Chain A
């Protein structure tokens, strides 16, 4: 299967995300329900969508199902795709809605937890870490994940897409159906909430300034 560049990592940092969009013929084929074309477009975007779901939900066991739901919803909706945003943004929006519906369903928010590997604790470029470094590194990420869970779904989504995924706020506004100002405001609130929790946490306190310090 030929992977399209539409969701390539390199696009993450670009303000204009439409480079590498599938051509109009491919989009038209997707609108017609051509499974090969859909497969190519989805395949190219799948890593981004998977990471977005993991960042927003963290629940490893459900990611596969939710990703499938995202694709199915996209297939259903593709005939109505008007090309007003890039395919990537459009798919991210569907993905965000799927995640939102999932969170709305139950108290799953509390259960959300990123399944972390011990590899995550090894900082690139460092010497072989000690066992205590490994444990501490893992705990810090888990704690950070917990605090992300405490944010409201919209604040978390905005923060994740902007700070973790590196998306521009204008694109996030399209994905989340908010204004650009509202997105920035939610990111700001999320950041402030996280910093508050970090300052209270002995494990994370040293990563940020103590309140009042200047």
Chain B
């Protein structure tokens, strides 16, 4: 490189900031005459441009939203590092999400919160007797108690905190939040006695529930609340009431709940009267007359169109004689989980015979964290009011299938146990009816499914689940060849990234349900990009061994608002084939209402996994940015010649109430990869036809 090239290089860096006329002339003349500099400039520019495009594609709105939310949800930090800041770090470092959530809870009305000053010990908050450590420092009797610090005792201690005298058992660890009049219990047990003459309310929180004092004296450990005098209300983290009133002498626990129903429990093993309570107009036991009302387990009819399949499906609400929500018949025997096993679901599951049966959940709360592996024909039925708290409930063909990282290679290596688990060994005929799943603001997933065939959720509610960073980020998540998974007449209201996230679903869908509060999207039927293979070892990869979602339906659902501060949310996203999106109502504006795309398997790129035959019809949207996005990018597909892997879609008869100037009915992304014919017809925006609102983006 000569000195002139060197100078040209320096001027190129200066170019954006502005060059003098002389410098500009020099640079232009030099580049005109110097092929080397021109070539270098082009090379760097090309790579930089490609690199920037790669960065743009790697960008993840979810990452930004979560980072922003977490930053804004954090308690206000002081401007300079102080002892408070260090104490807070210890607190956050040692406590689980529940405590972090509590801090959020405390500061939630702090939209105008100013930067916190050094915390002040409130008058009256002090150690009365016993031993107490605060951030590793031993306190003497009479010492003040600083807010938002971790307090622990070895032998036990008595404190006055606000209007309460709080006794700590040995080994107890708490945090006192005076602004919220709340003691957060992380370990151990506290006894609270309230000065009735002083102001209320007073709360004791664990990472699983919040107990609010209505009366005067009670004790709390991380699992249960016992009332000595007066009355206590138990709440979830979002303020929803779990138990309205727990009176003197009563005990409520996370695992066993407390009976709040006045209905007598059914007798074990008998035809459950309680099930009849749930659906008084129907007989739901599997009598000869209704034995066809079962959880579907047959594979979809590969080869026929999705519309034909759906038109004849017993879960199609438009089909005369369809199986209504709640109309699945349940197997015997029936076990009352509370009456027989004190609310212990794992014990009740273990007590079911190998042929399965029905677990009757009377109103109350139950621990939502349990595993059902390898046992089919299990129904969870409630008359309403049964709440599974926390999560996830894990349902799998075999327990190994729940560990995706180790199980996927095992399947690909065709180890017999793993192969059996995802083929003949999938659990089937699992049914949830009238159950509420409550994540309590801490759990991310209600139900994880792996290697299942035939799981139905009817009339269920999913709420208070939060976003996580896991690979399967749905309130209901499924993978490892899930088939016949249906969510019907249910409500999912949670800030998890996806409401329903089913990976490689064959036959199934979401029908007549309501979804809101999601951050990335409401429903995702995805291609499982690492599991394709000849699982049954017959020498070929059959239709049912393809792992793109196939024969999936989203019908008659309402989609509400996504989580606050969410941008770029998708309503329904399908990476697969043979899909139906129909008669849904999108009540809020989303970035993309329906996204259709295809993906191939990353481990077998030479297997052509096509994603054809999509129907989006008769949906209604209040407003849209892009109504349907058809993405022809050959994600992971081994492209040969002019092969196309995605397309043949129909968008017809949809109505968008408001027509904004920027509305796009169909956006084709990478149109070169989209196969036809594609039909767009009969769509109306405001009152006018709008089939021509098509945008193609390369």
Contacts from A to B (Cβ < 8 Å): 1, 3, 15, 32-36, 38-39, 42-43, 46-47, 50-51, 54-55, 60, 63-65, 67-68, 70-72, 75-77, 79-80, 114-120, 122-125, 127-131, 134, 137, 140-141, 144-145, 148, 162-166, 168-170, 180, 184, 187-188, 191-192, 194-195, 198, 204, 207-209, 211, 213-214
Contact = CB atoms under 8 A, between A and B. Distances in A.
A144 B114 CA distance: 45
Contacts, number: 205
A2 B54 CA distance: 28
B639 A130 contact: yes
6 contacts: A63-B60, A120-B54, A184-B10, A192-B1, A204-B47, A207-B46
Nearest to A76: B77
B594 to A, nearest CB: 20
B54 A117 contact: yes
A185 to B, nearest CB: 8
Nearest to B46: A207
A38 B78 CA distance: 16
B179 interface: no
Contacts of B12: 191
Of A65, A162, A191, chain B has the most CB atoms within 10 Å of the CB of A191
Interface in B15-71: 16-18, 34-40, 42-44, 46-48, 50-60, 63-64, 66-68, 70-71
Interface of B: 1, 9-10, 12-14, 16-18, 34-40, 42-44, 46-48, 50-60, 63-64, 66-68, 70-72, 74, 76-79, 110-115, 469, 564-565, 567, 633-636, 638-640, 642, 670, 672-673, 698
A36 B13 CA distance: 39
Contacts of B633: 119, 122
Contact of B17 (A140, A166, A168): A168
B54 to A, nearest CB: 4
B68 A39 contact: yes
Contacts of B114: 32-33
Given A46-B67, A67-B67, A72-B77, A192 B113 contact: no
Given A33-B76, A43-B68, A128-B639, A50 B14 contact: no
Contact of A214 (B10, B36, B70, B640): B36
A120 B57 contact: yes
B692 to A, nearest CB: 24
Chain A: interface secondary structure?
helix
Given A55-B51, A76-B77, 5 more contacts: A1-B565, A64-B63, A75-B72, A137-B50, A164-B55
Chain B: interface secondary structure?
helix
Of B9, B14, B55, B58, chain A has the most CB atoms within 10 Å of the CB of B55
Of B43, B56, B57, B114, chain A has the most CB atoms within 10 Å of the CB of B43
B68 A46 contact: yes
B71 A68 contact: yes
B63 A75 contact: no
Contacts of A68: 66-68, 70-71
Contacts of B1: 192, 211
Contact of A131 (B36, B40, B47, B640): B640
Contacts of B51: 55, 114, 141, 144-145, 148, 164
A41 to B, nearest CB: 10
Nearest to B40: A208
A79 B114 CA distance: 10
Contacts of B16: 15, 162, 166, 168-169
Contact of B567 (A3, A144, A198): A3
B59 A54 contact: yes
A80 B78 CA distance: 12
Given A79-B79, A117-B57, A118-B635, A39 B72 contact: yes
Contacts of B63: 50, 63-64, 67
B563 to A, nearest CB: 11
A34 B137 CA distance: 34
A141 B35 contact: no
B71 to A, nearest CB: 3
B636 A118 contact: yes
B50 A124 contact: no
Listed from nearest, the 5 A-B pairs whose CB atoms lie closest are A207-B43, A71-B71, A208-B43, A209-B36, A67-B67
A174 to B, nearest CB: 13
A87 to B, nearest CB: 15
A138 to B, nearest CB: 9
Given A1-B567, A35-B72, A141-B54, A50 B39 contact: no
A75 B74 CA distance: 10
